[in-house]
Amino acid sequence: MQDFEDAKDRVLMGPERRSLVLSAKEKKTTAFHEAGHVLVGRLLPDADPIHKVTIIPRGPSLGLTSMLPVEDRHNYSKSFCLAQLRVAMGGRAAEDLIFGEFTSGASNDLKVSTDLAHAMVCQWGMSDLGPISFGHNTEVFLGRDFVRERDFSEETAAAVDKAIHQFLDEAYNDAKEICAKHENILRALAEELYEKETLEAEEIDAIIRAHGGEELLPKPREREKEPAAKRPVMVTPSQVSEQPGEIGEIGPGDIVPGTA
């Protein structure tokens, strides 16, 4: 069973890099960064449940938070996307709250958050700009690449930029508010993660409960009984190629969604 779990983690999170030794300062920063992702993700009912968090370097990342959906997902609601933005911002928010500065570890969190906010505004009509798609894909170089051409005015472009910034700013502010409101839990998670280096979902919930967060934990969602093959499926090309929350390129604070 343990071999199966190890193999699953290698697929979802990448191979461990035990040869990469972090300094005590980097390890502490990474622990708080990941604790921020975990705290925000665990307290938001619309986010996928936290599966595991580690500060053992894996692949190109110094730390990883893995999330597993409770059911097959082929379509994304606005509430889910908003939750994903807040979880992604949780690491940077925790760094800001605890250390009063930022690190480059949030670079990929910011990239994925920006891509997701852009899709919400320009492709999925989830902003106050209404049910409209901005720009269109143009195929170039023998069908291998796509570029998105702008087909709207400078005034509209400014409104699109403002809507994207609004999604990102609100997500960051909400994530920081959650970290600040429950700083005792954030510190407890980071300290335990610093010592153990890896925490499973059950351990995370136990820490939250031990520090007065029992009522904060969302009620568990049951998996649909109907087989996935019989459920209605709605998939768009953008949703297939740009999965929200796929964070895993560089630095501490990478969020990795799993599969049901």
Q: Catalytic residue numbers?
A: 34
Alpha carbon distance 253, 36 (integer Å): 9
Q: What whole-number distance in Å separates Cα of residue 180 and Cα of residue 41?
A: 15
For residue 8, the one-letter residue type is K
Amino acid letter for position 111 = K
CA separation, residue 184 to residues 71, 107, 254 (Å): 32, 26, 23
Task: Answer for the pair 59, 15: CB distance below 8 angstroms, yes or no.
Answer: yes
Tokens 């820490």 map to which residue? 207
Alpha helix segments (H runs only) across 221-260: 237-241
DSSP readout, 90-118? HHHHHHHHHHSS--GGGHHHHHHHHHHHH
Which residues does 117 contact at the CB level (< 8 Å), separation at least 6?
85, 164, 167, 168, 171
Tell me how far apart the alpha carbons of residues 184 and 76 are, in angstroms, rounded to a whole number: 32
Q: For Cα atoms 24, 58, 238, give the angle at the middle one, nearest 5 degrees.
A: 125
Give the integer Cα–Cα distance in Å for 117 and 190. 28
